[in-house]
Chain A
Amino acid sequence: MILSKQNHEDDITKQHLNAIRQAKSTIEKQNALQDLLQCYGEDSAALLVTLLEDRDDEIRSIAFHGLSLVPSEKSAVLLATFLAHTDLHVRNLVAELLVQYKAMAVPALLRCLSNPNKKVRKFAIDILGLIGDLTVTPELAILLDKEQEPIVQVAIAEALGNLRAAEAVELLMRHIDSCPGMAPVVIDALGKINTQKSIGFLLEVLQRNDFYLSLFSLEALSNAFYPEIIDTLVERYKRIHPELKTNFFKTLCSIYQKLDPPPASKINFYRFKDDILKILKETENIQVFSSIFNSLPDDFIIKMFVQVLELLNHQNQDINYFVIERLKRLDKTEILIKLDQYLDSISARGHLALLNLIGDCDLVCAENILKKLGNSPIPEIRRVVAEVASVFNGAEFDYILIQLANDSVQLVRESAYLALSDRAYYDLIPIFEKGLESQVHSIFQVSLHTLARLSPGLLYNHLEKWLSVNDGERLLMFLSYMPENFFLSKPFLKTLLEHVNMKIRMYAIHAFETISEEVVQDWIAAGQEDKHPDVRLVALRAQIRQNAARAKVAISRALDDQDCRIQEVALEATKQLCLTEMLPQIYSLLGSSDRKVQLKAVQVIQELGGAKGITKARERLYNYGENADNIISLATDQNLFSVLNPDEAQ
């Protein structure tokens, strides 16, 4: 009886496992897993562990998920048996699960420490280190003392470091030379543990004069925060390998930065000035640069100001800006006064970086530097000078900007004009009048708007001049950028709307279409009589946009126009405004020689006249000798129409 019950349970177990294995979709597999978990609870682990070995990645993933839901010491014991598995993937899944199980996995892992397989011991130790349970330290310590396998010894040292096991410091110190490859890991662990004793030991390691051990020790020491080690570290400097000087200063500065507040007199950086500045000049590594440079006290920077400024000549732009950021933390005015004297020793790249420093500093300092840099041979520097000068007020800065507004390089002039437009003093009128003569649109636009604000009368004079000499280019630029609040007298409007230059007539209609005065609207409407179709088209569009009442008249007139584009715009407007009264005119467009007009007309007729309209359109098309059915089906087939008229379809 008992035997048969056992057999029955085995059958159920098999059924569940098969259900997971044979499920066709992920959802089915997940459902089968849920059934298994519900049926067996914690006991599912024994079944799921076997699925971890399945060939199907998805099954393994389902098993992994299931096992993560039933953490227990029992599951951990089962999983730990897989630490010797030959399949890396299985082993990694097991390791990940055991790390997730945390304290529940610890007893099983501790049992693994006596496993004869060195790999099992190593993996168990790695996982214990990741779990971070400090109570395992004694077991790890005992094992380290008797362990013969280097790979396991190193794993213990790494785990003790990850556990920050302070009680293991002496043990680690004793084992530093236990096996090849042990020392780097022990040094790293001692740095992580970071007690006075471990740090003291690392300082001793520096005296061994071993390149790599010194390298690792310096890195490990950078975690330290004990002020008393600084003197010893500084003493070690003279025996440091020349190639490790950068690492030395990085560590020294890192410790110095952690001291709160930093003891200004604790490190005499000035003593190392040559080496420090050499490293800063030569390094390409921004992290090295920043960790050292950022730690240098203010008095060092001020004392070594010229040399610090030379760092601005560094090829690495990030380093340039880093220097500037550091300088910003000092008294800016004092810095700028000093800068003024040494400007010539800095490269163009440095000058650009320096311009970032000038902002809210003292006007006098800024003026001198901007004056000098405003004469730089590098256009980009002059352009940035204009930008920076725009935030300062005063005649001196106006002078700098006026000078730059006359620069030979367009970008510099544009920047200067933009800066000057914010100031808009009457004294600056001549420069803006000059700007109206510029070929550069942005300068013309800025000058136009500024003059419209400062002296509209003067702008009228210019307009008169352009009209009298028939300066089409200026007139077009004026109409393109005409300031919103600038009102032209009616004679001016009429002159421009009737100008001999077709483009000016077009731009004028466009510019004046928002003027609602009846007389101006009449002039715009007259544009529909223009001999040039482009002008007629602009006039039609202006009227459709601005005035619904006038739009009807304009559309009606446009439907009779000879130009196909105008007819098409009128047809579309008819449809949009539902102007059924236009239908008679539209029927006559069915006789157009332009196929697009014909098709559009059929569409509008269908929209406004419905089936009746289409019947009538068919008759008309027959009368015009057209293949009516073909045209109607082309026009009414939306897909085909969109292929033939892509713009219209959009």
Chain B
Amino acid sequence: MQKTILIVDDSATIRKLVRLVIESMGHHTIEASDGLEALSILTHTRLDMLITNLNMPNLDGFQLIQQVRKKYHKQNLPILILSSEEEPEIVERGFNAGANVYLYKPLIPWQLRQEMNKIFTQAKLGRD
């Protein structure tokens, strides 16, 4: 079944590469270049997953995730962080904010596909 995935990254290159990977899986994507734009999309679009960078202008990834979870009450929306930040404390902060998966940049396409499939399988099992 086709899913809708929001990709949030200030790098147009990363957004494009992630989009291509996701589209090759048969899913639909929406793009946002920062957290604020992502929130405005989130309010009027039904999403199946959020993939976000951390380091972004206006509203960073941590703030975005926190708002998605607390302000928008989207507890079940799978959130995947794709970031170049490798420090354990930042990774932990990402999970504490509400992320489900943390992937390091550079983007490894098969890795992204694998993690997304895992999330969707878990979500399906949860529903069944």
| Interface bracket on A | 20 to 34
Q: Which listed segment binds A: B37-45, B66-74, B102-110?
A: B102-110
Measured in the bound complex, the distance between the Cα atoms of B20 and A150 in whole Å is: 22
Q: Which listed segment binds B: A176-184, A615-623, A642-650?
A: A176-184
Question: Are the C-beta atoms of A219 and B16 separated by less than 8 Å?
Answer: yes
Proximity string of chain B (94-117) to chain A, C-beta cutoff 8 Å, 1 when within and 0 when not: 000000000001111110000000
Number of A-B contacts (CB under 8 A): 60
Question: Are the C-beta atoms of B20 and A181 separated by less than 8 Å?
Answer: no
16 contacts between A and B (CB under 8 A): A89-B60, A92-B56, A92-B57, A154-B105, A161-B13, A181-B108, A182-B106, A184-B17, A184-B106, A185-B13, A185-B106, A188-B13, A212-B109, A215-B24, A219-B20, A243-B24
Q: How far is the CB of B95 from chain A (nearest CB, A)?
A: 16
Closest chain A residue to B112 by CB distance? A212
Measured in the bound complex, the distance between the Cα atoms of B62 and A410 in whole Å is: 58
- For B57, list chain A residues within 8 Å (CB): 92, 95-96
Within 8 A of B (CB), among A83-127: 88-89, 91-92, 95-96, 119, 122, 126
Measured in the bound complex, the distance between the Cα atoms of B79 and A12 in whole Å is: 49
- For A215, list chain B residues within 8 Å (CB): 20-21, 24, 109
Asked if A387 lies at the interface with its beta carbon under 8 angstroms from chain B, I say no
- For A244, list chain B residues within 8 Å (CB): 24
- For B105, list chain A residues within 8 Å (CB): 151, 154, 181
Q: How far is the CB of A588 from chain B (nearest CB, A)?
A: 64
Listed residue (B2, B17, B54, B108) with the most chain A CB atoms within 10 angstroms of its CB: B17
Question: Are the C-beta atoms of A158 and B60 separated by less than 8 Å?
Answer: no
Asked if B55 lies at the interface with its beta carbon under 8 angstroms from chain A, I say yes
- For B54, list chain A residues within 8 Å (CB): 88
Asked if B11 lies at the interface with its beta carbon under 8 angstroms from chain A, I say yes
Asked if B122 lies at the interface with its beta carbon under 8 angstroms from chain A, I say no
Within 8 A of A (CB), among B15-62: 16-17, 20-21, 24, 54-57, 60, 62
Measured in the bound complex, the distance between the Cα atoms of B16 and A182 in whole Å is: 15
Question: Are the C-beta atoms of B84 and A88 separated by less than 8 Å?
Answer: no
- For A247, list chain B residues within 8 Å (CB): 24
Measured in the bound complex, the distance between the Cα atoms of B110 and A91 in whole Å is: 31
Proximity string of chain A (134-168) to chain B, C-beta cutoff 8 Å, 1 when within and 0 when not: 00000000000000001100100010011000000
| Interface bracket on B | 20 to 34
Listed residue (A151, A212, A215) with the most chain B CB atoms within 10 angstroms of its CB: A212
- For A179, list chain B residues within 8 Å (CB): 106
- For B21, list chain A residues within 8 Å (CB): 212, 215
A158-B20 contact, Cβ under 8 Å, with A180-B108, A181-B106: no
Measured in the bound complex, the distance between the Cα atoms of B11 and A188 in whole Å is: 12
- For B20, list chain A residues within 8 Å (CB): 215-216, 219
Asked if A11 lies at the interface with its beta carbon under 8 angstroms from chain B, I say no
- For A89, list chain B residues within 8 Å (CB): 60
Among B16, B60, B106, the residue within 8 A (CB) of A150 is B106
A181-B107 contact, Cβ under 8 Å, with A88-B60, A151-B84, A188-B16: yes
A88-B16 contact, Cβ under 8 Å, with A151-B84, A151-B106, A180-B108: no
- For A162, list chain B residues within 8 Å (CB): 13
Asked if A133 lies at the interface with its beta carbon under 8 angstroms from chain B, I say no
Known: A88-B55, A185-B106, A215-B109. 9 other contacts (CB 8 A): A88-B60, A92-B56, A151-B84, A180-B106, A181-B105, A181-B107, A185-B13, A185-B17, A284-B2
Measured in the bound complex, the distance between the Cα atoms of B96 and A468 in whole Å is: 86
